Amino acid sequence: FFRSKAMSCARIAIIGAGMCGSVCAWALARKGVHVTVFEMGRGVGGRMATRRSRDFPGFSCNHGAPLFYAKQEAFQEIVQMLVGEGVLKVWDGDFGSMNPATKEVAKDAPARAYVGVPGMSSAVEPLTRGVEMRLQTQVTRVERRNQQWFVTDKDTQESAAFDWLVVTTHALAHDRWKEIFGTPPPLQAAAPSLHSPAASALVKSLGEVETVPVMALMMAFGASPLWDRLPLDVARVEGSDVVSKIIRQPVAGSPFVVVVVHSTFDFARQRRSVVGSGGTTAIMGAATDAIKEEAVIAELYTGFTDCIRPWVGEVPKPLFGPLLHRWGACFPLPAPEYPTPAGVAAADVGLVCVGDHLGPEAGSVEAAAMAGLKGADTILAALGLDARL
């Protein structure tokens, strides 16, 4: 990780510190561009976040993406750099599908996949090294004045002027923002004053992004040979209306095993109002309902035990959890094309909107990273800086 000798006085604000925003920040910062990243969560990673708990020391849970693939050359270069940093390694588990009703198991063909060390968020953290980070900061207003962007958080604290604004989440222009937080989506509210057809097209596309929700259940069990009876480390579950995926995560040097359960899309859709009281959305002010949350936890836990009982028998009580998290916007459906001829930018107002929710590739760590590079390349080109190393 290094900075180019060709420094720039441009100031860039990036909203979102998932893989997309973090790669974008890294690609800009290495060219000497000043970057400030605003992230609503407690740490970086987005869907590659790693949940930890003070209540259960040693607990480390990848409750989003359990692994990822790198097929495109530009992303492979970043991955190899992170492997060299010791924060990524080649995954050595088994991935496939299992059917609890028939006990059929089908392993996927071997393919090189990667996991973070010690957690998935560890692979994102080096990308933001040397970047100004504003964690646990919910952006509630963005405004362009005198050809510069100003960003305001929920505490009405306005940040210094920025030349470019990079938005890596569709939430800032989507109606669900108001449904969750009770206020207008910030980018949607700012769009009319921009007087930019390109910006209007970007904001419109963000507002039309379709996603499928997933509930994630996280828990730790005592280490036991029974967990070795599970035929797969990451299993797509067939035939269940409740559970879509079960992930077994041994924790090196710990006397327990972490298990993550993902719900089906329909299960999460039907429980749209439940967000999980320990998640970032709730911490930032979304309404929660403890009774409904406990009911969802119970349903999902029962679905999980029903799915694994044919292999492990009766499931012991967890040592910790279950905890519930709702992924409401992390699984976008593909869009047929980019929203503007320029792809992701409204250069006339210094706005870039990127993420795997825009364009034909959606819902993967690699697509998010490539979108971050695309956003950075767009800005670097406008600044007259070479995007390549």
172-195 tens-digit pLDDT? 999 988 888 889 999 999 999 999
Write the pLDDT tens digit of every residue in 137-166. 999 999 999 999 999 999 989 998 999 999
Mean pLDDT of 373-389: 86
- Residue span(s) of the chain under CATH 3.50.50.60 come to 1-45+125-209+334-383
Average pLDDT, the chain: 89
Taking CA atoms, 175 is separated from 34, 150, 196, in Å, by 31, 22, 21
pLDDT band at 7 (very low <50, low <70, confident <90, very high): very low
What are all long-range contacts of 178-181, with beta carbons under 8 Å and residues at least 24 apart? 180/275, 180/281, 180/286, 180/328, 181/284, 181/285, 181/286
For residue 349, the model assigns a pLDDT of 97
Mean pLDDT of 368-382: 94
Residues 6+ apart with CB under 8 A from 18: 44, 45, 46, 47, 48, 124, 168, 169, 368
Closest CA to 121 of 87, 91, 92: 87
pLDDT band at 212 (very low <50, low <70, confident <90, very high): confident
Task: Please state the three-class secondary structure of the chain as a single string.
Answer: CCCCCCCCCCEEEEECCEHHHHHHHHHHHCCCCEEEEECCCCCCEHHHCEEECCCCCCCEEECCCCCECCCCHHHHHHHHHHHHHCCEEECCCCEEEEECCCCEEEECCCCCCEEECCCHHHHCHHHHCCCEEECCCCEEEEEEECCEEEEEECCCCECCCECEEEECCHHHHCCHHHHHHCCCCHHHHHHHHHCCHHHHHHHHHHHCCCECCEEEEEEEEECCHHHHHCCCCEEEECCCCCEEEEEEEECCCCCEEEEEEEECHHHHHCCCCCCCCCCHHHHCCCCCCHHHHHHHHHHHHHHHHHHHHHHHCCCCCCCEEEEEEEECCCCECCCCCCCECCECEEHHHCEEECCCCCCCCCCCHHHHHHHHHHHHHHHHHHHCCCCCC
Fold of the 1-45+125-209+334-383 domain: FAD/NAD(P)-binding domain (3.50.50)
Distance between CA atoms of residues 165 and 149, nearest Å: 7
Mean pLDDT of 225-232: 94
Tell which phi-psi region holds residue 161, choosing left (phi > 0), alpha (psi between -120 and 50) or beta: beta
For residue 336, the model assigns a pLDDT of 57
Of the two residues 326 and 80, the one the predictor is more confident about is 80
Residue 323 has pLDDT above 70, yes or no: yes
Residue 352 has pLDDT above 70, yes or no: yes
Closest CA to 235 of 55, 370, 98, 123: 98
Mean pLDDT of 87-113: 95
Closest CA to 10 of 347, 353, 388: 347
Residue 206 has pLDDT above 80, yes or no: yes
Residue 286 has pLDDT above 70, yes or no: no
- Residue span(s) of the chain under CATH 3.90.660.10 come to 51-123+211-332
Of the two residues 95 and 342, the one the predictor is more confident about is 95
Note whether 350 and 164 are within 8 A (CB): yes
Partners of residue 160 on adjacent β-strands: none
pTM: 0.92
Single-letter amino acid code for the residue at 382: A
Note whether 232 and 95 are within 8 A (CB): yes
For residue 287, the model assigns a pLDDT of 58
Residue 4 has pLDDT above 50, yes or no: no
We find that the CATH architecture of domain 51-123+211-332 is: Alpha-Beta Complex (3.90)
Mean pLDDT of 246-266: 90
pLDDT band at 360 (very low <50, low <70, confident <90, very high): low
